Amino acid sequence: MSEVKLWGLILACGLLTFTTRFLPLSDLLPRQLPPLIEQAMRYVPVAVLTPIIIHGVFLPDGSLSFSDNMRIYAALTALIAALITGRVVITIIVGMLSLWGLEILASSLL
């Protein structure tokens, strides 16, 4: 990639980032989004986080792994913690502690 193309790409990305941050703060957009868009926006976090979580749990090495994959069990314990408590911080702590504990347990048994 030439230097001119690289600087053009950097400039385009900067303008796009600025525009997405500036427009909601300006009077160019309506203060209230249409109900259909607001309803659709409720699904954005699930649509974005699901592939990230699935990739991290089932594809830790880049290939599909079910055997000797402690991340699956840790994800299930984190899911149970999320359903019981409904708190994100507790879910993260339970998931990480269970993953570390399971990995230590598995390494000591082998």
Indicate whether 105 and 86 sit together in one domain: yes
Indicate whether 18 and 40 sit together in one domain: no
Which residues contact residue 95 at a Cβ distance below 8 angstroms, ignoring those fewer than 6 apart? 74, 75, 77, 78, 81
Enclosing domain of residue 8: 1-31
Indicate whether 61 and 95 sit together in one domain: yes
Indicate whether 42 and 96 sit together in one domain: yes
As for how many domains the chain has, the answer is: 2
Indicate whether 11 and 57 sit together in one domain: no
Contact criterion met (CB below 8 Å) for 50 and 71: no
pLDDT digits (tens, 9 = 90+) for 23-37: 888 888 777 888 998
Identity of residue 39: Q
Indicate whether 38 and 69 sit together in one domain: yes
Indicate whether 9 and 48 sit together in one domain: no
Query: In Å, how far from its chain's centre is CA 105?
Result: 27
Q: What are the pLDDT tens digits along the chain (110 aa)? A: 889 999 999 999 999 999 988 988 888 877 788 899 889 999 999 999 999 999 999 988 888 878 888 999 999 999 999 999 999 999 999 999 999 999 999 888 86
Q: What is the token pair recorded at 47?
A: 């649509």
Indicate whether 9 and 61 sit together in one domain: no
Indicate whether 64 and 93 sit together in one domain: yes
**Predicted local distance difference test score (pLDDT) of residue 65:** 78
Query: In Å, how far from its chain's centre is CA 19?
Result: 23
